[in-house]
Amino acid sequence: MPSITATIKPYPQPDIIQVDLPILMCHGYAGGVSALISHAPLHEPCMLFRSRGAKAFAPNIVPYASIETRSEEWMNRIHALQQQYGFEKFHVIAHSMGGLDMRYAIAKMDAASSVATLTTIASPHQGTTMAELVLKTPGPLRGPMKQFFDWMGAQMYAEAKSDSLAAVEQLTRAYVQEEFNPNVPDHPDVAYYSYSAATGKGTSEPLNPIFGIQNGMIYDQEGPNDGFVSVESAKWGHHHGTMPIGHIEQTMIQVAGGRKKIVDQVWIDVLQDISQY
């Protein structure tokens, strides 16, 4: 008869990943399908980080608004966390539009005194064709669409006024390259890192068919992309590499069963990289 100890199998526990500073996770333009499914776009990655021992926070701000408005909201969240926990500085991870928000906050709102590093994930640092496609929506449809997203934003977050159209206008390639980038310089005291992502056309990675048409249209203009932002547009500062997951998958909101381990590992790799900063 086997002993009791011989029949007990160990329960593997994840390794702690030690990070020297708390992590602030900033979400992007909380639109489309993701907003209908979850009101907290980066909650799941944040909880994964906490399971590995990181002091991670993923607050919500106004989902649809200009970069300037969203930047003010992120500054409010930074100050609130500093007051509540006594933190001085953060490693910031910013997804999609959140990367532009935080670049602006660092350059224009003294966030540099509170941010040690900024890591952007699939942020449109050169703009995105997707924004231009949205702005080409026929006028009779654009008005009701704006009203719907602004209404949705008010339901999700009532502390600031949503303006979905203003946000989209600031994500075009022309605006980001000609207006935003020349006037929002990197701060010498902040280290900048980035990840891009690519799925669908031009890759061997699967893509949710819902995003197939826009993926192809962005590819024709900018090359490989994650369904919203191209690889080239997402590069800023030190580029760590290209993730094999789609834009919505990155938030862990729409992840097929067979893809969960891949998405989890991508985020763990991000945390490992931050632990080396």
Total domains in the fold of the chain: 1
- Decide if 150 contacts 162 (C-beta within 8 A): yes
Residue 9 lies in a domain: no
pLDDT digits (tens, 9 = 90+) for 170-190: 999 999 999 999 999 999 999
Say which residue the tokens 């966390």 belong to.
81
In a domain, 264, yes or no: yes
Please check whether residue 71 lies inside any domain of the structure. yes
Q: Is residue 82 part of a domain?
A: yes
User: Does residue 54 lie in a domain region?
Assistant: yes
Per-residue pLDDT reduced to its tens digit, 17-40: 999 999 999 999 875 455 556 667
Residue 11 lies inside a defined structural domain of this protein: no
With tokens 């590069």, the residue in question is 235
Residue 273 maps to a domain: no
The tokens describing 150, both together, are: 């602004």
CA dist., res. 18 & res. 27, Å (int): 23
Q: Sorting pLDDT into bands at 50, 70 and 90, what band is 201?
A: very high
28/26 Cα distance (integer angstroms):
7
Could you count the other beta carbons within 10 Å of the beta carbon of residue 267?
22
Tens of pLDDT, residues 103-114: 999 999 999 999
Domain extent at residue 36: 19-268
Q: Cβ(246)–Cβ(208) under 8 Å?
A: yes
Identify whether 275 is part of a domain: no
Average pLDDT for 6-21 = 83
Q: Give me the CATH number covering residue 132.
A: 3.40.50.1820
